[in-house]
Amino acid sequence: MQRSSPTAKFRLTASAIASHFKHRCDRLFRWNAVATAHRGKPGIGWNVPRRAREHSRPGIALLMAAGDEFEIGRVQALEAEISALSPAPGIEQRIHYAIQPDRGRQRVAPLPLPDALALLRQPSVPRFIAQIEIDLGPHPAIAAQFLQMFGLDPDAIELGVSRPDLLEVLPPDESHPHRRLRVWDFKGSQVARHEHFIQVAFYTMLLEAVLSCSDVTGYAVDTEHGVVESRAERTTFDLAPYRLALADFLRNRVPALLALPAADAHFHVHEGCVLCEYMDECRSRADAADDLSRIPYITSESKRHLLAAGYRSRRDLVPLDPATRQEEIERLRSLSHDLSTNVARYIAAAQALDDGEPRVLEKHTFQMPWYEDVRVVLCAEQDAVTGTCFALGIKTYEGWDAAANRPLGQEHVFIAQEKGDEVSILLPFLQTLNRLLERVHQENASIRAQAPESDPQVSAAEAQVAAAQAELDAFRARHEADLRRRTPQGDALRAQREALRQRVEAAKRAAKDARTNFFKAQRRAQKRLHFYLYDTLDALVLKSLIERHLFDTEPPELLAELGNLVRLFPPESVLPDADTFRTIPATVVVQMLRALVALPVPYGYDLRSVSEIYQPESGGFQFRTPYGFSWEHSNQIAFERIHDVWNGTEFRYQQRGTARVLTPSDILQEIDKAVRAKLRATDSVVRRLKADLGPKGQLLLRKEPFQLYTAGDPLQVQMFEALRIFTALEVSLAELEVKRVHTLPVSDRVASFVCIHGLRAETDTLGADGTIWFRFDPAASDTKFEPGDFNLVLTPADEPAILLSDIDGELFNSSSRWRYAPYKVKLVAYDLHSSPPRVQLAPDN
C-alpha cells in the first residue's frame, strides 16, 4: 500500500463544482476533489475509487465526440456570423482558435494562459479567444489569492485547470470605461441549465484573480452577463445570482465537505445518477450496505432525516407496521414535508424489497382509467448525441378476437435509417396514429348517428304509445256525449276512459325508458381510447420531436398530420357532460407505479426490472434485449446501436463465450425487436396495474367515448396553420397540466405546494371586513400562494371530483369558467406564528 504524499491537496475544478450543483451530491464533490494520483491511498484519497476508465456506457465516448463536434461547429458558425460585422476600434471581428486532433477526435486546441494574455496586450485584439487554458499551477500566488478570497486554505487546496470555451472582448461604452471580457461556454445539451451558469460564474471569478495579478491593463471581467450556447439556443444571462451562490458555496460549504472522510460524505443513489461516472461503484456500495437509497424514489432529504433519526438502512424501516408502531411512524411524519406525505410508501417499499411481494398502496388516481376499449401504447427513443428521435413505436389493443383466439391489435415500429432523419419516421408514425384515431372517431360517430327509432325496442314501445293513444281517441269519439252525462253509465264510461288514459301514460313511460336505454346502450357501444407511455422521457422526446417539425414546409403532408393532433386536444369542448373525466388523454405508467404501488425493485422502477416481477396473471411480457440494445436502469433503447447503423459499422459482442457480429441490417432488426419488446412490456405492466387497482376503486379516471374535434376549417396559409396548431397545443398542454395537478390526491398537491388543506373555519360567518379566518394543517405552511392572490378556490377535501368537474369544467372551454364562481376566494393574510397556522380568506365572486 502506498501512502499519498503528506502534501496531497484537494483539487478544485470548475467541472467538479458544476457537477455538485447538478447532482447535489456531497460524495461526488468529495471524490472529485481528489486527483487520480491520490485515490485509494491513505490520506485524502482513502475510500475514493479510481476513475472508471470506460464510463458505464460506451455511448459516453460518442457523446464526448459529439460535444467536440458541436463546439467546433458553433465556433465556425460564430466566426461566419461576426465576419460581416464592422470592426470596433482595436477589436478585429474574428475568433482566435485552432483545431487539433486528439485521440481520434477533432477539438478546439487549448490556448495557454500566457499566450492569451499576450494577445490581450496587443494593440488590436480578436473579438473572441477560444479555449483559454487557465492553469494556475505555475502561478501559485494567483491561486492563493483566489482561494483566500473565500477563506480556503491554499496549503490544502489547489485549483485544477479551467478552460472557458470563449472569451469575448467587448468595447468600452458609457457605463464601462474599460474593455470587458465576457465568458461564453458551449454545452451540447438541448438547453442551458443552472450548473452551466455556475460554471461560467466560476470562470469569471478566476479570470478576475488572473487579471488583477497580471500586467494586462485596460480590461475588466464582465461580471454582469455570461453566455451559454446550447443546441437549442444562445442564452445571455445575469451572472449576479450565480456568482453569489458560488461564493456562498466556496466560503460556507466547501470547507465542511472537504473536512469529511470520503466514506462519510452524504450520497443518495437515485434516477439522476444514471450518467454519473460513479454509478456502478455507488450502487454496489449501496447494495452491500442495504442503503436507504435502495428504497425507490426516496428523496435525499428524507434519507438524511431518517439517518439522523437512527434509521441506518433500508432494513430498519421494515418492522414499522402501522398497526403496532403508529406512534413511531407519526414521529417520522413530523420530520419533514416529504416524510409527512410519503413515509407509508417508503415503509411499504422497504418491506417489498424484504420479501419480494409487491404491495398496493392506499391511494387513488384520476390519471389512469380502469377500462378503455382501445389501448394505445407509445414509445419514443432518443439519440442523445444528435438530440433527435431515432425510433418510434405504437402498439394498440382493441379487445380479444374470439374467432382467432388472440388479442385484437397491431404493432408498428419506425426507425430513422439516416442520421438525424426523424421526419422519415414522424410522418408515417403520425399517419398510422391518425388513421387509428379517425377510424375510432368514425365508428363512434356512426353509432351516435343511429336514430333511436331504428331500435326495435324503441319502435315497439312507440307503437304501443300510438296504439294506446288511438284506442283512447276512438273511445272518446265513440262516447263523446255519454261521457258528459252525470249518470251511472257516464261514471262507468269515465272510469274506462281513465283506464285507457293510464295505459297511454304507461306506454309513454315505457317508450321513454326504451329511449333512455337506447342512448345508454349507444353510449356504451362507443369506444373509449387511452394512451400509455412507460416513461416521462418518452413523452418528452415525442413532444420535442413534434415541436421541432411544426414549422417544416416539407413534406407538405406533415402539417396536415400534425393538425390532427390538435383534434385530440380541442380548443373548445365538444362534449356535453363535463362531469366525467375524459380529459386526461395519456398516462405515464412509471408515475402510476410510483404513486400507487410498492415494488421489490430498488432505486427506481425501470421497465426491465418491473416487467420481470410485476406481470398480469396471464400473457405477461418482460423487457429484454440482446446485449448492447438497452442498458441497465434506462428505459430507452441504446442510441449507440443506431450510430452503428448510421455509420455502416458492425456491432461485435460476446454472448456466452461466443463472438457475435451484427451487420447494420441485423442491428436494425434488433432495434425493431427491442422497440416491440418495450411496447409489449409496458402493456403487460399496465394490465397488472389495472388488475390490482381497478377492482379496489383506485383508478378513478372515467373516459368518455372517443371523438376528435372537427369544427373549424384549417387555415390555408401554412405558417398561420402551424401557428394555430402550435398555440392550440401550448394552451392544451397548459390546461392539461392544471388538470393533472387537480387529479393528484390532496397530500400530493400539498407536497407540490399548490394546496392548503385541513382548513377549519374559526367562525361560522364572515367578519365585519368580509373575511373569515381558517386554521390549517402546518404541513401546508410552505404553499406558494401569497396574500393578495385571487382566483383561488375553496373545495371540500372529501369531494375531489368537484375540482375536475365544477372548477375545471369542460377542458379548453373558457366560457364554462363562470361555474366556479361560488368556490372562488381571495387570500388576504397568513398568521404562521399561531399553532396551528391560520389563513384569512375572502369570497371572490
Nearest approach, Cβ of residue 307 and ligand SF4 (Å): 14
572 and 813 Cβ atoms separated by less than 8 Å: yes
Pick 282 or 504: Cβ nearer ligand SF4 = 282
Nearest approach, Cβ of residue 10 and ligand SF4 (Å): 16
Please select the residue that binds ligand SF4; options are 279, 339, 568, 802, rule is CB under 6 A. 279
Pick 125 or 273: Cβ nearer ligand SF4 = 273
Nearest approach, Cβ of residue 194 and ligand SF4 (Å): 16
Per-residue H/E/C for 481-508: CHHHCCCHHHHHHHHHHHHHHHHHHHHH
Here the cell at position 25 is 451530491
Pick 269 or 597: Cβ nearer ligand SF4 = 269
Interface stretch with ligand SF4, choices 269-277, 390-398, 512-520, 591-599 (CB under 6 A):
269-277
Interface stretch with ligand SF4, choices 149-157, 164-172, 268-276, 431-439 (CB under 6 A):
268-276
Nearest approach, Cβ of residue 285 and ligand SF4 (Å): 8
Here the cell at position 606 is 425501470
Pick 305 or 724: Cβ nearer ligand SF4 = 305
Phi and psi torsions of 378, nearest 5°: -120, 150
As separate numbers, helices (DSSP H) first and strands (DSSP E) second, the chain gives: 24, 31
Distance CA 382, CA 378 (A): 14
Pick 133 or 280: Cβ nearer ligand SF4 = 280
Pick 113 or 273: Cβ nearer ligand SF4 = 273
CA dihedral 521, 524, 525, 528 (to 10 degrees): 170
Write out the H or E segment, with its range, that includes residue 662.
strand 658-662
Nearest approach, Cβ of residue 270 and ligand SF4 (Å): 7
Please select the residue that binds ligand SF4; options are 12, 16, 18, 25, rule is CB under 6 A. 25
DSSP designation for 804: I
Pick 16 or 675: Cβ nearer ligand SF4 = 16
Please select the residue that binds ligand SF4; options are 8, 17, 28, 674, rule is CB under 6 A. 28
Pick 269 or 685: Cβ nearer ligand SF4 = 269
Q: Would you say the C-alpha torsion 546, 548, 552, 555 has a positive or negative sign? A: negative
Please select the residue that binds ligand SF4; options are 273, 675, 772, 804, rule is CB under 6 A. 273
Interface stretch with ligand SF4, choices 48-56, 274-282, 363-371, 742-750 (CB under 6 A):
274-282
Interface stretch with ligand SF4, choices 88-96, 118-126, 265-273, 416-424 (CB under 6 A):
265-273
DSSP designation for 429: H
Compute the C-alpha angle 394/397/403, nearest 5°.
135
Pick 28 or 132: Cβ nearer ligand SF4 = 28
Pick 113 or 286: Cβ nearer ligand SF4 = 286
Nearest approach, Cβ of residue 268 and ligand SF4 (Å): 6
Interface stretch with ligand SF4, choices 61-69, 266-274, 452-460, 704-712 (CB under 6 A):
266-274
Interface stretch with ligand SF4, choices 152-160, 263-271, 408-416, 518-526 (CB under 6 A):
263-271
Number of residues interacting with ligand SF4: please give it, by CB under 6 A.
Answer: 12
Three-state DSSP class for 687?
A: helix
Pick 250 or 269: Cβ nearer ligand SF4 = 269
Nearest approach, Cβ of residue 184 and ligand SF4 (Å): 27
Q: Which amino acid is at 376?
A: V
- The two beta strands, 125-130 and 91-96, are parallel
Compute the C-alpha angle 442/446/452, nearest 5°.
160
Q: Report which of 277, 181, 192 is spatially closest to residue 220, judged by C-alpha positions.
A: 181
Please select the residue that binds ligand SF4; options are 170, 269, 839, 841, rule is CB under 6 A. 269
Nearest approach, Cβ of residue 24 and ligand SF4 (Å): 8
Residue span 5-24 as binding mask against ligand SF4, x where in contact by CB under 6 A, dash where not: ------------------x-
Interface stretch with ligand SF4, choices 25-33, 53-61, 362-370, 651-659 (CB under 6 A):
25-33
Pick 147 or 306: Cβ nearer ligand SF4 = 306
Strands, E, within 403-482: which ranges? 406-407, 411-415
Per-residue H/E/C for 97-142: CCEEEECCEEEECCEEHHHHHHHHHCCCEEEEEECEEECCCCCHHH
Pick 279 or 645: Cβ nearer ligand SF4 = 279
522 and 450 Cβ atoms separated by less than 8 Å: yes
Pick 17 or 276: Cβ nearer ligand SF4 = 276
242 and 198 Cβ atoms separated by less than 8 Å: yes
Contact between 276 and ligand SF4 (CB under 6 A)? yes
Residue 819, exposed/middle/buried by CB under 10 A (0-12, 13-18, 19+)?
A: middle
Q: Report which of 578, 573, 577 is spatially closest to residue 807, judged by C-alpha positions.
A: 578
> What part of residues 365-394 is at the interface with ligand SF4 (CB under 6 A)?
none
CA dihedral 689, 692, 694, 699 (to 10 degrees): -50
Pick 277 or 561: Cβ nearer ligand SF4 = 277
Contact between 282 and ligand SF4 (CB under 6 A)? yes
Nearest approach, Cβ of residue 751 and ligand SF4 (Å): 23
Pick 268 or 594: Cβ nearer ligand SF4 = 268
Please select the residue that binds ligand SF4; options are 9, 11, 20, 27, rule is CB under 6 A. 27
632 and 280 Cβ atoms separated by less than 8 Å: no
Phi and psi torsions of 361, nearest 5°: -85, 160
Nearest approach, Cβ of residue 754 and ligand SF4 (Å): 29
For cell 406481470, name the residue. Answer: 615
Distance CA 239, CA 204 (A): 9
- The two beta strands, 157-159 and 132-133, are unpaired
Distance CA 612, CA 684 (A): 10
Nearest approach, Cβ of residue 304 and ligand SF4 (Å): 13
> What part of residues 487-546 is at the interface with ligand SF4 (CB under 6 A)?
none
Nearest approach, Cβ of residue 633 and ligand SF4 (Å): 11
Please select the residue that binds ligand SF4; options are 278, 621, 709, 776, rule is CB under 6 A. 278
Nearest approach, Cβ of residue 248 and ligand SF4 (Å): 21
Nearest approach, Cβ of residue 294 and ligand SF4 (Å): 12
Pick 221 or 269: Cβ nearer ligand SF4 = 269
Contacts of 723 (CB under 8 A, 6+ apart): none
Beta bridge partners of 365: 699
Determine the length of the chain: 845
Helix locations, 107-264, DSSP H:
113-121, 140-149, 194-213, 240-248, 254-259
Please select the residue that binds ligand SF4; options are 139, 268, 294, 567, rule is CB under 6 A. 268
Nearest approach, Cβ of residue 198 and ligand SF4 (Å): 16
DSSP designation for 215: S
Here the cell at position 691 is 388488475
597 and 686 Cβ atoms separated by less than 8 Å: no
Q: Which amino acid is at 684?
A: S
588 and 534 Cβ atoms separated by less than 8 Å: yes
Nearest approach, Cβ of residue 623 and ligand SF4 (Å): 23
Q: Which amino acid is at 517?
A: N
Interface stretch with ligand SF4, choices 201-209, 267-275, 602-610, 827-835 (CB under 6 A):
267-275
Pick 25 or 562: Cβ nearer ligand SF4 = 25
Question: Which residues make up the interface to ligand SF4 (CB under 6 A)?
Answer: 23, 25, 27-28, 267-269, 273, 276, 278-279, 282
